[in-house]
Amino acid sequence: MSISLPDELPLAYQEQMKRLFEADGEPIDPFLDSYREPRAYGLRVQPWKWNGHETARRNAAALFGLEPVPWCPEGYYYEESSRPGKHPYHHAGLYYIQEPSAMSSAELLDPQPGELVLDLAAAPGGKATQIAGRMKGEGLLIANEIHPQRAKILAENMERMGVVNCIVTQADPHALAERFPYSFDRIMLDAPCSGEGMFRKDPEAVNEWSPEHVEACALRQRDIIRAAVRMLRPGGSLVYSTCTFNRRENEDIIAHWLETYPEFELVRMERLWPHRHRGEGHFVALLKKSSSAPDATDAADGSASAQSGRRGGSRKGKGASGVNAAAAAFRQYAEWAREHLPGLELPPGRPLLFGDELYYVPDTHPGARALLDDASVFSGLRLHRLGLHLAHLRKNRLEPAHALAMACTAADQAALRFDAAADDPRIAAYLRGEPIAPNPEQSGAKGWTLVAVDGLPIGWGKASDGLIKNHLPKGLRALG
């Protein structure tokens, strides 16, 4: 099913939109006409992969017909038929396919390197990967998603895009607020909504729409906001966004917000309309919490006791090994990295060991350090990723994690590498999970090999006997 005529849109939706345009004294026809226009396709590049890779940049621009998105420096429109999501550069995390209007939310949030940032409803990761791009690996991002399957996809996307400073949690926003009251410098709340801006992109969204669904979404948004408000530190900023058009989930939510939480001021509120901007449409609002708002030390809502209770708790997160075991495992990794990955420099941080899996979490932000010092803060929370997954520890050896390959910004950070052009058949073979033949100058090489396309890492292989054995995780192999 594809929506080509406004007649196919629910009548109640059309009436709602008529009322909205009438109230604004604007004609509705240009908006309705936009449903007859082809939709806009966008991708957003990951700065640390895009910069410094001239060949990939040039190829991507030519292959996908890239044109800049005016409101996002990393955003580009692409031609639908060029299918960048199927290209090896997508596996390399060079870009994230993202609807162009949706790029406006993180732009407005304007996260900075070194901050402690929360993306409260983060899957599949469009805004979270954009926020991470702006943070440049410095500071800490907590990306949360309530639904297990979606949280898994979120974690995979953070990994593909080479993000090192992100913890992916799977929690109800209120459970998160219990653990992180008054903590974050910035919060992204890209709320679950009735998705009216998805109608052109996803006709299924039309079937789910009803006035009752809009009301249910508005109620849920108010509920999530209670948790978000609590987690923002005094003086912090928050972006609320939706991909829907009705007022109940947008302006009315903001009005309710300002009434209920007078410590907030509205800095900016904007709509991107599909008939005015080349995109599917978005609502974005930037709010700031007063710096004199209560914080954890003087809050009257019980959060302070929640914090002190937390401090009294165990210092170990569920399943985490002790500091010494983690330090020993990290020494083993460091030795391995000296030999195999001499060009990768990790930001200041700390190793964490969960069973045989070694992670590394950047901890330069004092808030991040406080969180990590008290790892009980994570106990009971489902964690899908804890910073950078460095390695799997096997009996007497170490296997580098796929995430480590993706965190490398260039093939030449590894001592041994296989680097080929995107159209080399061995790249497609590697992505299907097959072993590949090394380039002639490396035919005698032996050991862990960083496999790359036009200089951009896509995973690990292990060279021996004139062949590179495939170590791409099974779930990531391309079908067909």
Q: Is 224 in the site for ligand SAM (CB under 6 A)?
A: yes
By CB under 6 A, the residues from 185 to 204 that bind ligand SAM are 190, 192
Indicate the residue among 147 and 268 with the shorter CB distance to ligand SAM. 147
Residue 341: CB minimum distance to ligand SAM, A = 30
- 8 A C-beta contact, residue 27 and residue 21: yes
Residue 448: CB minimum distance to ligand SAM, A = 33
What span, in angstroms and rounded, lies between the C-alpha atoms of 156 and 179? 24
Residue 287: CB minimum distance to ligand SAM, A = 17
Q: Which residues contact 358 (CB under 8 A, 6 or more apart)?
A: 326, 329, 330, 333, 351, 352, 389, 390, 391, 392, 393, 401
Determine the interface stretch with ligand SAM among 117-125, 232-240, 276-284, 304-312 (rule: CB under 6 A).
117-125
Q: Which residues pair with 73 in a beta bridge?
A: none
By CB under 6 A, the residues from 122 to 161 that bind ligand SAM are 122-127, 145-147, 150
Indicate the residue among 129 and 183 with the shorter CB distance to ligand SAM. 129
Instruction: Quote the radius of gyration of the chain (alpha carbons, Å).
Output: 24
Indicate the residue among 130 and 449 with the shorter CB distance to ligand SAM. 130
Q: Is 85 in the site for ligand SAM (CB under 6 A)?
A: no
Q: Is 42 in the site for ligand SAM (CB under 6 A)?
A: no
Token readout for 92 is: 């390399």
Indicate the residue among 123 and 141 with the shorter CB distance to ligand SAM. 123
Residue 126: CB minimum distance to ligand SAM, A = 3
Residue 228: CB minimum distance to ligand SAM, A = 9
Indicate the residue among 122 and 453 with the shorter CB distance to ligand SAM. 122
Indicate the residue among 224 and 450 with the shorter CB distance to ligand SAM. 224
Backbone torsions φ then ψ of 148, nearest 5 degrees: -55, -50
Written as one string, the DSSP assignment of 264-293 is EEEEEEEEE-TTTSSSS-EEEEEEEE-TTS
Looking at this protein, which amino acid is placed at residue 165? N
Determine the interface stretch with ligand SAM among 2-10, 116-124, 211-219, 324-332 (rule: CB under 6 A).
116-124
Q: Which of 72, 166, 217, 243 is catalytic?
A: 243
Residue 281: CB minimum distance to ligand SAM, A = 13
Query: How many C-beta atoms surround the C-beta of residue 254 within 10 A?
Result: 18
Written as one string, the DSSP assignment of 398-448 is EEE-HHHHHH-SSGGGSSSEEEE-TT-HHHHHHHTT--BPPPGGGTT--EE
Residue 108: CB minimum distance to ligand SAM, A = 13
What span, in angstroms and rounded, lies between the C-alpha atoms of 42 and 449? 33
For ligand SAM, what does the binding mask look like between residues 43 and 82, x meaning CB under 6 A?
A: ----------------------------------------
Indicate the residue among 150 and 369 with the shorter CB distance to ligand SAM. 150
Q: Which of 88, 173, 274, 281 binds ligand SAM (CB under 6 A)?
A: 173
Indicate the residue among 53 and 127 with the shorter CB distance to ligand SAM. 127
What span, in angstroms and rounded, lies between the C-alpha atoms of 123 and 111? 18
Determine the interface stretch with ligand SAM among 75-83, 121-129, 276-284, 380-388 (rule: CB under 6 A).
121-129
Secondary structure of residue 173 in the 3-state scheme: helix
Written as one string, the DSSP assignment of 27-75 is -SHHHHHGGGSPPP-EEEE-HHHHTT-HHHHHHHHHHHT-EEETTEEEE
Number of residues that bind ligand SAM (CB under 6 A): 17
For 34, 166, 277, the CA distances from 356, given in Å and listed in that order, are 53, 20, 49
Indicate the residue among 176 and 375 with the shorter CB distance to ligand SAM. 176
Q: Is 181 in the site for ligand SAM (CB under 6 A)?
A: no
- 8 A C-beta contact, residue 445 and residue 437: no
For 90, 143, 211, 377, the CA distances from 196, given in Å and listed in that order, are 28, 25, 11, 37
What span, in angstroms and rounded, lies between the C-alpha atoms of 125 and 121? 9
Q: Is 121 in the site for ligand SAM (CB under 6 A)?
A: yes
Residue 39: CB minimum distance to ligand SAM, A = 17
408 counts as catalytic: no
Token readout for 363 is: 């901890």
What span, in angstroms and rounded, lies between the C-alpha atoms of 130 and 57? 18
Residue 319: CB minimum distance to ligand SAM, A = 24
Token readout for 336 is: 């391995």
Name the DSSP class of 464: E
Query: Which residues lie near ligand SAM (CB under 6 A)?
Result: 102, 121-127, 145-147, 150, 173, 190, 192, 220, 224
The residues that are catalytic are 243
